[in-house]
Amino acid sequence: MNVHHEMSHEEIVRAKLTALRCEHRDLDEAIAALSAQQLTSSLTLQRLKKQKLALKDRIARLEDELTPDIIA
């Protein structure tokens, strides 16, 4: 049986969130490992931290998409 299932917008956003959180966690581990080394380039660490921050911002935007607006 050939069943075709299209993902809803919410499912796509949740899949992206999962991937971005995983990438964010991997960057966090890479930063921690490089920080522990004595001969690490500070420029490399700065770039990784900047990437991690950009990922955090993308994650926050996607989470906001999933959160319904509540009128106070």
DSSP string, the chain: -----PPPHHHHHHHHHHHHHHHHHHHHHHHHHHHHSTT--HHHHHHHHHHHHHHHHHHHHHHHHHSPP---
Domains identified in the chain, total number: 1
Of residues 36 and 55, more confidence is placed in 55
For the record, the structure tokens of 45 come out as: 């660490």
> Which residue range is the domain that position 60 belongs to?
9-66
Q: What is the C-alpha to C-alpha distance for residues 38 and 70, in angstroms, rounded to an integer? A: 49
pLDDT band at 25 (very low <50, low <70, confident <90, very high): very high
Please check whether residue 72 lies inside any domain of the structure: no
Angle at 25 between CA 68 and CA 30, to 5 degrees: 150
State the pLDDT confidence band at 58, using cuts at 50, 70 and 90.
Answer: very high
Asked if residue 4 is part of any domain, the answer here is no
In a domain, 55, yes or no: yes
- 35 vs 1 pLDDT, higher one: 35
Averaged confidence pLDDT in the chain: 89
3 has a pLDDT exceeding 80: no
- Is the residue at 53 inside a domain? yes
